[in-house]
Every structure is written in C-alpha cells, then in structure tokens.
Amino acid sequence: MNDYWQAISSYRSPQLVHELANAINSLCQDQVTFMQVCGTHTWNYRRHGLATLLTQNLSLVPGPGCPVCVTAQSDIDWIVDLAQGRQNTVVTFGDLMRVPGSAGSLAELGSKGADIRVVLSPLEAMDIAQMEPSRYVILVAIGFETTAPAVAATLQRAAQLGLANFSVALLLKRLIPALRYVFAQGKPDGLLCPGHVAAILGHKAFAFLSEEFQLPAAIAGFEPVDMLLGLLALVHQLKTGDAQVTNTYPRVVTEQGNAAAKALLETTFTSAPGRWRGLGDLPATGYQLVGALKRFSLTPPTCISSPTANGQCLCHLVILGKKMPTDCANFGKHCTPESPLGPCMVSQEGTCAAHFYYPDLTSLSPVYRNEVTAAASLRSKKLPKRT
C-alpha cells in the first residue's frame, strides 16, 4: 500500500505540475481549444485546479464521455418504466439513480417501493438473480468500452448457469465510432483521449484521429501530471504541425490493449445502432448480443424522437462542447445535484456537477472568491460516494 501511495504522489508532485504547466504556457501563444472527452478528466482537471495554472489561451471543453449523460432521454424513460414492474428488480450503478426521467427518477420510484438496487459490479446482478429466483432481475448496462468487458463476462457466466430470471437492458455505447461522427461535424484543435478506454482497446484504436482527421490527440491518465503531460503533447503537436496520437499513459496503455477483454467483447457482442443524447441514432455505436446470449437482451422501444425530461436542460449541448454549464440560466439555481434538470448535474462524470462542486475561480473578481471557495468546500464535503 505504501508503494501505491508513493507512486500516486509522484503523479501529484507540485514541482512537476508547475514545471509542466510552465512548459505548456510557454508553447501555447495562440488561442486553442482542446476537448477532454472523458468525464473523469473533466472532474480531476477541476478538482486539482489545473486551470488556474494554465494560460487563458488554452480552453478545455467537454465531449461525449459521460456514459449516463449520453444516454438518450427515451432510454432513461424506458428504464424507469421497467422499474415499475412489480416482479422486476432493476440493478444499476449509482450514477443513474437520480437522473430525471419524464415520469420521475429511479430514486423516486425506489422511495415508493420499487425494487431498485445499486451495485458496484455487473456480477452482483447475477448473484441477486441466483439468490432470488422469484424475481426477474434486470441489469441496466450503461457505459463505454471500459464497462463492456465486465458486462460480457457476466452474460457469459449467466449463460453457463442457465439463469432464466436474468436479463440485460443493453445501453452500452462504442465511443470510437461515435468520435468519428462528432469530428466529421466539426473538430477542436486537439483531443485528450480517455486512458481507460485506451487501456482496453489499445493505443492503435485511436490512430484514425490523426490519419483521417489530422487531429492532434494524446492518450492521458487521470492524475494531474498525467493530464498535463497529455496537454503538453497536444500543444507540442500544434507547434510542430505534426498531428499524431501520443500515448502519455504508457504505464497502463499498450499499443494493442487488453487482449482478454477484447476477446470477451468479440465473443459476446456485435455492433448495432446506438441512441445518443444530443446526437440521435448513430450506426455501429451500440452493442447487441450474439448467438444464444440474445435471450438475455431486452430491447428498448423504437423512438422517433428523443425528448428531454426538461426542455430547459442544456445537457445535450454540454456533452458536445457546444455549451458550458455556466451558459445555462438554471445552473446552480434551479438545477443542482439535489434537484437536477438533467444527467450532467447528477453523474460523477457529469460536466455540470464538476463545475458545481469545483467552480472556476479564475473568472471571479477577488471580492467574491473567498465566498465561492467556502461554498465549494462545503459542497465537496457533501459529494455522494462513488458507486
């Protein structure tokens, strides 16, 4: 354990953080906009106050990297509807509980007696199905390539056990083909790629960014030094005019990725259309089960349009970097983590929640900084436990 904390401390070294920030600032003489597609990058960038160290020439905008946030409103409503079945036990990760559906949230249904359970692993849903054969257990599978292997392993094991009371609401998303669509519509000056997706798929899976879009990209981890190394790689590529995909997270990410995890994906899923908040139906960005595993899959109803639970919510624009949370008139007022209008204010990878708990002090006058800092400190103490 001591070795672990020593390793973590080295990636939070104040001296190294300041050296990297200075190097970025010296190279970044022109206005640039980078996208951080991962919600964990968004949170940690703000949590560690990295923006206060970097030049205002460098802007970071969010991308479609929060799994709960990109889930279409119609699919949220479908999950809420499933939870109302008297014989159904809906099993989910905690981030989904308070996402508002058109007819309320899972948390609200749970308070009225619906059987909804929060787990840390998909395998726990299978355990529930085994222990309670009279219940129809539905695992809500939301996530990207990082979560998909664990869901695949659960389904393979459920098939071996012959579970008849277990199904999956398959709302997993494939990030790589979705990025192709996003950048075909317009691209930032560079992309900070998600280290955990790259750990599964490998460095090579992101090569299309530079080859097809001439987009500078850097695969980065999640500690302050990791993120600054990624940003430094991006500004260096812009300076030299040489767009490539730089792996600044080599202690975790290899060129080919995790062979065992990729094999699980290949034997469990094939690609299917995916329904995204803010993007609509995108080909080959979702998953479907193959072979005998198809019997475990629940299919969401076909939806011509995907309304929002609240028309005032800008989450569908925030996740594409088209709006920032503070552009929303409801941010921090009528929309808070306790009373959210949309998923970006709920999820522990949501951009609006990150901005709420860790406000941008650089944009405030000194008169108000102490007041906002005190309020943010109080908010952070009330952060929900990560589930």
pTM: 0.89
pLDDT at residue 105 tops 70: yes
- Residue 378's pLDDT is 53
Single-letter amino acid, residue 272? A
Closest-CA residue to 174 (of 147, 193, 154)? 147
| Residue pair 49/327 in contact by the 8 Å Cβ criterion | no
Q: What is the mean pLDDT of the chain?
A: 90
More confident residue, 365 or 23: 23
Percent of the chain whose predicted confidence (pLDDT) is above 70: 89
How many Å is the maximal CA-CA distance in the chain? 65
Per-residue pLDDT band at 311 (split at 50, 70, 90): confident
Is the model's pLDDT at 380 over the cut of 90? no
Q: pLDDT digit string (tens) for 114-165?
A: 999 999 999 999 999 999 999 999 999 999 999 999 999 999 999 999 999 9
Closest CA to 144 of 276, 286, 252, 31: 286
Each domain of the chain, given as residue ranges in start order, spans 68-174+257-298
Supply the pLDDT for residue 268. Answer: 98
Helix (H, G, I), strand (E, B) or coil at 75: helix
> Residue 223 in contact with residue 11, Cβ under 8 Å?
yes
pLDDT of residue 270: 97
| 195 within 8 A of 249, measured Cβ to Cβ | yes
Torsional sign, CA 229, 234, 239, 241: positive
- Residue 224 pLDDT > 70, yes or no? yes
Question: If one looks up domain 68-174+257-298 in CATH, what number appears?
Answer: 3.40.50.11740
Confidence band for 345, pLDDT divided at 50, 70 and 90? very high
Identify the burial level of 217 via C-beta atoms within 10 angstroms of its C-beta, where 0-12 means exposed, 13-18 middle and 19 or more buried: buried
The two three-digit tokens of residue 383, written as one number? 């952060």
The confidence score (pLDDT) of residue 372 equals 41
The tokens for 76 are 């949220």
pLDDT beyond 70 at 5: no
330 pLDDT above the threshold of 50: yes
pLDDT digits (tens, 9 = 90+) for 25-43: 999 999 999 999 999 999 9
Q: Where are the beta strands (DSSP E) in the chain?
A: 32-36, 58-62, 88-92, 116-118, 136-141, 166-170, 190-194, 217-220, 245-247, 269-276, 280-289, 297-298
Give the pLDDT confidence of 272-310 residue by residue, as tens digits.
999 999 999 999 999 999 999 999 999 888 765 555 556
What confidence category does residue 206 fall into, taking pLDDT thresholds of 50, 70 and 90?
very high
Are 37 and 64 in contact, with CB atoms under 8 Å apart? yes
Q: Which amino acid is at 249?
A: Y
Please report, as a single letter, which amino acid is at residue 187: K
pLDDT at 2: 55
Question: Quick one: pLDDT at residue 381?
Answer: 53
Angle at 128 between CA 127 and CA 132, to 5 degrees: 120
Q: Report pLDDT for 299.
A: 86
